[in-house]
Structure formats: C-alpha cells, structure tokens
C-alpha cells in the first residue's frame, strides 16, 4: 500500500496529517482484538475539513493507522507527556486504556523496529523533504500539524476538551506572531472554546520540526471531534453542517498564518 499521500503546492504553509490513515496491513490487523479493529483513535475526516481551504498548500498525509505505528511519536519512544497517561510509539491500548491486541500478539521489539523503518521513517522523510522544498522557495516554512480527538476521554484528561487546542510547546516551535494569530482566530470563533498549550502542547512532529531560528515554524491544532462529528462513537460520521461552520474558522487561521510568512524572513 502507499504509505502516504503527497500534494505539492507553492504556499509557505504545509499541512501534515499523521493520524487520519485507516490502512492496516492484513498481518497486523489479524493481531488486533475486536476493540482494536474499531480503530477508534483515528483523527476522523480531518483531511476533509481542511480540503480546499488554502490554495496551493502542500499536504502530507500518512495512510497507515496509528495502531501500526504512531507517526506523531518520537522514534526513540520517549514520552511526550511524562507522568501523564498517553499512548506510545506502537500503542498497547486505546485512548480509554483498553487493550487493542489479542493476548500474546502485542508488537515485539522486532515488530517496532520494522515498522519504524518501513512506515514511520518514509512518512517523515517525505515531510522533511517538503519542508526543505517550501523553505527554499520562501525562505521560511510553516508546518501546521492537523489533529482531532474525542472531547471526553477520562483516561487522558479531566472534563471536556476545548474545541480548539493550539500547541506550540510553550512558544518554542514557532514565531510568536504565528501563535498569536492562530489563537486569536480561535478565540474569536463564536460558539467555540479554545486553549493555548493546554493538555496538548504539540506532538513530536511539532516539536521535532519547529525550529524558528532556522526558518521552520510548526504549530499543532487538535480539534475536539464534537466540533465536526455527528457522534464521537462508531461509525464516526462527519456532520456536514458542523464541518461547514468549522471550516470558516479553519480557513481564517490558515490565511492568517500564510500572510505572516513574508514577514518572518525580514
């Protein structure tokens, strides 16, 4: 199977989609239990939410599911959030803490090494190449990492997650102007809630690539799925009316950060 989908554009903005893929090779799917085969922790329909919002944007989308290997985790297996519940490079449980593998079928160290080399690494090689290509055109590249998650997951966080969760690793991964423009757009979105560097401060992708001093800026957007799904349970259908309202604000965000690109090279 194709490991990723790539669309090359000329905008200074790059959209990354590490968690929308639902492809699971047959030999791996056979090892998942009934709970794992639901693929509940997918970032459902996010690529559809952003489709067409910004002309000439570059997109890099992993097609494999995060249960194969998580493209937004440190390849060394280092936790993004030490001391807090989370899932690893190859998850052993879902976001509710429930096992996803059949007894005795959890991935081995050899499995993980294989998946790193054959899934994780090719996706990031493609993403890194696009960052360098876009930076060569504009002198700057802005990586916007696209995510979504259920709004209620007691295993991971207390209470209901805000609709817009902006992550910049406490301002380390992008210029202040990008952080401010993004969060201001979220904060003014009527009927939505938002937070900056709350429970989600930016995953490995954002932290790894976001080096403003080199001209590469990265920011993560984690959307609560209640903002665009009919229900946060199977079959996880997209609510077209909710999506249409949300797309207005996502477009505003992307246009704001794209407009800033030319100011970041001065």
Low-confidence stretches of the chain (pLDDT < 70) are: 79, 82-83, 85, 266
Phi, psi (degrees; rounded to nearest 5) at 33: -85, 180
What was the pLDDT predicted at 128?
98
> What sign does the CA torsion over 148, 152, 158, 162 have?
positive
The predicted pLDDT at position 84 comes to 72
Using only the alpha carbons of the chain, give its radius of gyration: 18
- For 12-54, what is each residue's pLDDT tens digit? 999 999 999 999 999 999 999 999 999 999 999 999 999 999 9
User: What's the pLDDT at 86?
Assistant: 72
Question: Is the omega angle on the peptide bond into residue 261 within 30 degrees of 0, that is, cis?
Answer: no
What are the two backbone dihedrals, phi and then psi, of residue 132, each rounded to the nearest 5 degrees? -65, -40
Write down the pLDDT at residue 88.
Answer: 83
Residue 83 is predicted with a pLDDT of 66
What pLDDT shows up at residue 87?
80
pLDDT at residue 206, as a whole number: 98
pTM: 0.96
Domains and CATH numbers, the chain: 4-264 (3.40.630.40)
Distances in Å between the Cα of 219 and the Cα atoms of 74, 117, 118, 251 are: 17, 26, 26, 15
pLDDT digits (tens, 9 = 90+) for 105-130: 999 999 999 999 999 999 999 999 99
């Amino acid at each position: 199977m194709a490991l990723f989908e790539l669309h090359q554009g000329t905008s200074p903005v790059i959209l990354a989609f590490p968690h929308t893929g639902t492809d699971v090779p047959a030999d791996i799917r056979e090892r998942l239990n009934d709970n794992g085969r639901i693929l509940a922790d997918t970032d459902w329909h996010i690529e559809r939410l952003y489709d067409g919002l910004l002309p000439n944007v570059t997109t890099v989308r992993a097609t494999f599911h995060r249960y194969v290997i998580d493209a937004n985790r440190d390849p060394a297996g280092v936790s993004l959030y030490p001391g807090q519940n989370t899932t690893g490079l190859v998850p052993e449980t879902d976001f509710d803490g429930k096992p996803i593998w059949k007894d005795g079928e959890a991935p081995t160290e050899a499995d993980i090494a294989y998946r790193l080399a054959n899934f994780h690494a090719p996706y990031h090689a493609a993403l890194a190449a696009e960052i360098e290509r876009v930076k060569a055109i504009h002198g700057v590249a802005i990586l916007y990492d696209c995510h979504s998650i259920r709004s209620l997951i007691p295993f991971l966080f207390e209470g209901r997650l805000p609709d817009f969760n902006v992550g910049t690793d406490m301002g380390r991964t992008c210029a202040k102007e990008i952080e401010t423009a993004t969060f201001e757009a979220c904060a003014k979105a009527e009927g939505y809630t938002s937070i900056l560097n709350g429970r989600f401060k930016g995953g490995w992708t954002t932290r790894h690539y976001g080096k403003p001093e080199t001209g590469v800026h990265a920011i993560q957007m984690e959307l609560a799925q209640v903002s665009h799904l009919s229900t946060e349970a199977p079959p996880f259908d997209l609510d077209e009316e909710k999506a249409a309202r949300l797309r207005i604000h996502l477009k505003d965000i992307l246009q704001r950060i794209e407009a800033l690109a030319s100011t970041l090279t001065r």
